[in-house]
Amino acid sequence: MGFVINAVIDFMYPPRCSLCGHYCADEEGICPDCLSQIHYIGRPLCIRCGTPFSHEFATDHFCGECLTGKRYFSKARAVGLYNGLFRKTLHRFKYQWRHCLATPLGTLMAKRMESFFSDGTYQYMVPVPLHPRRLRKRGFNQALVLARILSRTYHIPLDRNNLVRTRWTQSQVGLSERERKDNVRGAFAVLQSARIARRTILLLDDIYTSGSTVDECSKVLINAGARKVDVLTLARAA
Ligand SMILES: [Zn+2]
Ligand SMILES: [Zn+2]
């Protein structure tokens, strides 16, 4: 009976690609044509921060910044470069709250997660928090929406209210790397350290730009006793 009802619904409302609107039977909600336009990030890349390297035959190694500067996360990875169609999609998801994009984007992230973190097991997933004022304005936290999907897929519990923003920060858009670092310094706190003590954590966000936000969050988590923090984002600044 359910089969018949689904067939009728499909006939009346054919499933469409959430990005281009064309017919798409794929249950993930993004058509193969749109998926092929994403610049997926693969090797060779920086072992620590995930910066992709262009030379074709090089192996993974540390980038200059990770060699000289301190990073609190162990490994950061992103699904694709923040450009073209992917950029447009993420922008719509974040600023226009296109609800239909949540599942396809979360599923895409979950799929890629396996290839990046096959060696990792996590006790908690933690989304990068928004300041309550920004949350009221936007109506949802895009990192939490994605984290929920990953948490369900991998049966890793979500620790959603423990890492918080304690200070209002201006948008990072248009700031230099130095300014970004200063802007987020001291902006986060962990409410219950005991909960994450000695735990391995996967921190989730939508976009990795200079890495200063996720690194500041990682710092606070490590200082609160976490054993290791890895980072996964949907996109990475191109
Ligand atoms: Zn499409
Ligand atoms: Zn690096």
What are the tens digits of pLDDT across the range 211-238?
A: 999 999 999 999 999 999 999 999 999 8
Cα 226 to ligand 2 centre (Å): 21
Locate all alpha helices (DSSP H) within 96-211, ordered by sequence: 102-116, 132-138, 142-154, 177-184, 193-196
Would you list the DSSP string of 145-158?
HHHHHHHHHHT--B
Cα 122 to ligand 1 centre (Å): 33
Cα 214 to ligand 2 centre (Å): 13
* Domain regions of the chain by residue span: 13-237
Cα 57 to ligand 2 centre (Å): 18
Give pLDDT tens digits for 32-72: 888 889 999 988 999 999 999 987 767 899 999 999 988 99
Q: Which residues of 163-194 are buried (b: 16+ CB within 10 A; e: fewer)?
A: bebeeebeeeeebeeeebbebbeebbbbeeee
Position 27 scores a pLDDT of 61
CATH architecture classification, 13-237:
3-Layer(aba) Sandwich (3.40)
The ligand placed nearest to the CA atom of residue 71 is 2
Position 149 scores a pLDDT of 94
Cα 177 to ligand 2 centre (Å): 14
The ligand placed nearest to the CA atom of residue 31 is 1
Cα 62 to ligand 2 centre (Å): 5
Cα 21 to ligand 1 centre (Å): 6
| Token pair 């000695």: residue | 198
pTM: 0.89
